[in-house]
């Protein structure tokens, strides 16, 4: 016995097409929130966003600390005196040029910076990620009899000069890192992106 042909073939085609369209819409509707979950949240975007810093009030010999991606960043303005003695103690450094290839192009110079008078460093000791303390004055200290100014990590005794180069014979193996940065204008520093050098 053969089945009877449908009484209304047009209606059957319409129902199949309508069901297919509704099903496809349901799949798309379910996929949108699923795919949106892979996008970073606004909070995550803000955490990874570049940080703009006004350095107009940063005086000579002073340091300011800002945060970028949860990392403290040291911004130091040199004095005329600190620039003069900057390369006086090269023999005490581990290897002032050892990381030349790991630094951004704009930091491959004697000052490790875009501008001669300002240095930007990640405030994280390369030994165990402590925060080295800023000791800008040269002279005798309780941790160095001929201190030229720079950073001392009291946790384990690592020492860095004023531009973040590591001393030899200390636990820290490498220089302080330089974050990506550029100057949007004379007084506005952008940390977290490389840009045109102004």
How would you class 126 by CB atoms within 10 Å of its CB: exposed for 0-12, middle for 13-18, buried for 19 or more? buried
- In the numeric block, which tokens belong to residue 7? 């009484």
Claim: this prediction has a pTM higher than 0.75: no
- Taken in order 107, 108, 114, 118, is the CA torsion positive or negative? positive
- Phi and psi at 128, nearest 5°, equal -130, 25
User: What's the whole-number average pLDDT of the chain?
Assistant: 85
Secondary structure string (H, E, C) spanning 98-160: CCHHHCCHHHCCCCCCCCCCEEEEECCCCCCCCCCEEECCCECCCCCCCECCEEEECCCCEEE
In three-state secondary structure terms, 183 is strand
Dihedrals φ, ψ of 180, to 5°?
-65, 135
CATH number belonging to domain 46-191 = 2.102.10.10
Tokens of 69: 């991606």
Q: Which of 138, 122, 111 is nearest to 172 (CA)?
A: 122
The one-digit pLDDT tens for each residue of the chain (198 residues) are 666 666 777 777 888 888 888 888 888 888 777 666 666 556 655 556 899 999 999 999 999 999 998 899 999 999 999 898 888 888 888 875 655 556 788 888 888 999 999 999 999 999 888 899 999 988 888 899 889 899 999 888 999 999 999 999 999 999 999 999 999 999 999 999 876 544
pLDDT in tens, 21-65: 888 888 888 877 766 666 655 665 555 689 999 999 999 999 999
What residues contact residue 181 under an 8 Å CB cut-off, 6+ apart?
A: 114, 120, 189, 190, 191, 192, 193, 194
């Amino acid at each position: 016995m053969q089945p009877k042909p449908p009484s209304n073939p047009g209606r059957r085609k319409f129902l199949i097409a309508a069901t297919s369209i509704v099903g496809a819409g349901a799949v798309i509707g379910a996929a949108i929130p699923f795919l949106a979950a892979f996008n970073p949240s606004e909070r995550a975007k803000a955490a990874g966003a570049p940080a703009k810093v006004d350095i107009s009030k940063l005086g000579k010999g002073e340091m300011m600390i800002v945060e970028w991606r949860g990392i403290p960043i040291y911004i130091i303005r040199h004095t005329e005196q600190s620039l003069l003695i900057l390369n006086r103690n090269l023999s005490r450094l581990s290897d002032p040029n050892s990381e030349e290839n790991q630094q951004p192009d704009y930091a491959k110079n004697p000052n490790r910076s875009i501008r001669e008078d300002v240095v930007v460093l990640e405030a994280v000791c390369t030994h165990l990620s402590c925060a080295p303390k800023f000791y800008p004055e040269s002279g005798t200290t309780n941790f160095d009899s001929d201190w030229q100014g720079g950073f001392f990590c009291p946790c384990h005794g690592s020492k860095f000069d004023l531009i973040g180069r590591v001393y030899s014979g200390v636990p820290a193996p490498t220089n302080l890192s330089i974050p990506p940065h550029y100057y949007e204008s004379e007084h506005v520093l952008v940390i977290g992106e490389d840009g045109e050098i102004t």
